[in-house]
Amino acid sequence: LLFLFFFYLHLCSLLKRVSHWSLLYSCAKTLLCLVVELMSLIVSTDHYLKQNWIYFSGSFYYISTTEKSWQSSRDDCLGRGADLIIINSKEENVSTHTSWEFARKFQKRLWIGLSDRQSEGHWIWQDGTSLDESFWHPGEPNSYWGRDEDCAEIKYINDVNSWNDLVCTNENFWICEKKTGV
């Protein structure tokens, strides 16, 4: 970043000698902003990878190594600058089964950011968006035996359609997602 600062100072001194200073200054300022954003992304990427996050398709993912309730899991994600995972596509759902060996190998059950706590039977993501594409295990969601199963988990049963509804106070591992905006 120190290099960028000196580069910027040198660029400014060159631009002051040019007659179209305001136009060139504006372009240089835009370029500098892009470079700073890129450097910020590189530093951020390094930070998340050092903390055992996984990068996939524009987001970082963190799989917990302890178990908590759905709300406590979400609070943990928020504390990390992320939130429980929102699965937007078949590819993202499949990646949870193929890429994350920890969860698959030990058949961990993982909270995702989906619930029907606000309105029974109306499943929404924790950011308020509707559930457009789902990957429920056959027969799910079912509020098994009349229990209040309002939170969704990925239940590893060697099938990509492995979502299950579960009582939110049960303790599971969880997946945080941090979108990078790239």
**Euclidean distance between CA atoms 141 and 152, whole angstroms:** 9
What pLDDT score does 43 carry?
Answer: 46
Give the model's confidence band at 21: pLDDT under 50 very low, under 70 low, under 90 confident, else very high.
Answer: low
Classified as helix, coil or strand, 39 is: helix
Tell me: do 157 and 109 sit in the same domain.
yes
What pLDDT score does 49 carry?
Answer: 61
Give every CB contact of residue 79 below 8 A, 6+ residues apart in sequence: none
Tell me: do 38 and 91 sit in the same domain.
no
The number of domains in the chain is 2
Q: Provide the residue range defining the domain that includes 147.
A: 53-179
More confident residue, 100 or 161: 161
Tell me: do 132 and 171 sit in the same domain.
yes
Q: What is the DSSP string of 107-129?
A: T-EEEEEEE-SSSTT--EETTS-
Question: What's the mean per-residue pLDDT of the chain?
Answer: 77
| Contact between 149 and 165 (Cβ < 8 Å) | yes
Model pLDDT for residues 63-99, shown as the tens digit of each residue: 898 999 999 999 999 999 999 999 887 777 766 655 5
Q: For the residues 137-153, what does the mean pLDDT come to?
A: 88
Tell me: do 143 and 69 sit in the same domain.
yes
Tell me: do 24 and 71 sit in the same domain.
no
